[in-house]
Each structure stands twice: as C-alpha cells, then as structure tokens.
C-alpha cells in the first residue's frame, strides 16, 4: 500500500530519504541549474520552444541519479507535485548549507 501524504511538510522527510546518496543529490542540483539556465535563456531570447527542454533536462538528470546511485524509483512517479516542490526545496537547502557535515 502506498503512503498517503497530507502535506508537503509530511512528504519532504520521505523525499530526502529517497535522496540519501550525495551523488544523486548532486546530479539533481546540476539538472536544476541547467533548467534555470534554459528557462532564463528561453524567456530572455524569446525562444519559447526551448522551454520544452526544461522537463527533459531536470527529470533526466534526476532519474539518472536515482537509477544509478539510489537504485530506487523516483518519487515523481507517485507524487509528481510534491516531488517537483521537493527538488527546489532540496536545492535551496543545499545552497543554504543544510547538507554539509
């Protein structure tokens, strides 16, 4: 039976547990960085078709991290909205130094 999350605050600890390998998190950060670059470039250059690449770049990097390092199924498949939010909150937490030992 799948876990039912009632809030993002309830989901986020589960999300982090699915990203325990720092290499997986690093690949997520690289993907998120490139998503930001592509979105900014697409908007600033009015090349809006490039926006179609953003999900491929972001999820492509994330899924590689899961399949190679975590050996788990990405949370996106069961919890797409919370997982999308989790990517950006995890990046924010990384930038704020919350994952340093």
Is 20 part of a structural domain of the chain? no
Is 29 part of a structural domain of the chain? no
Confidence of residue 99 (pLDDT cuts 50, 70, 90): confident
Tens-place pLDDT, residues 7-37: 999 999 999 999 999 999 999 999 999 999 9
Is 51 part of a structural domain of the chain? yes
Is 71 part of a structural domain of the chain? yes
Is 63 part of a structural domain of the chain? yes
Give the pLDDT score at 3.
Answer: 79
* Tokens read off for 19: 């990203």
Tens-place pLDDT, residues 33-88: 999 999 999 999 999 999 999 999 999 999 999 999 999 988 888 999 999 999 99
Is 74 part of a structural domain of the chain? yes
Sign of CA dihedral 49, 95, 80, 65: positive
pTM given for the model:
0.88
51, 39 Cβ separation under 8 angstroms: yes
Number of compact structural domains in the chain = 1
């Amino acid at each position: 039976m799948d876990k039912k999350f009632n809030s993002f605050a309830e989901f986020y600890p589960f999300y982090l547990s699915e990203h325990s390998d720092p290499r997986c998190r690093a690949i997520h950060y690289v993907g998120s960085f490139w998503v930001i670059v592509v979105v900014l470039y697409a908007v600033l250059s009015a090349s809006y078709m490039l926006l179609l690449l953003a999900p491929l770049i972001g999820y492509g990097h994330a899924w590689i991290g899961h399949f190679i390092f975590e050996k788990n199924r990405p949370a996106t498949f069961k919890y797409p909205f919370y997982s999308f939010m989790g990517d950006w909150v995890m990046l924010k937490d990384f930038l704020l130094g919350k994952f340093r030992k």
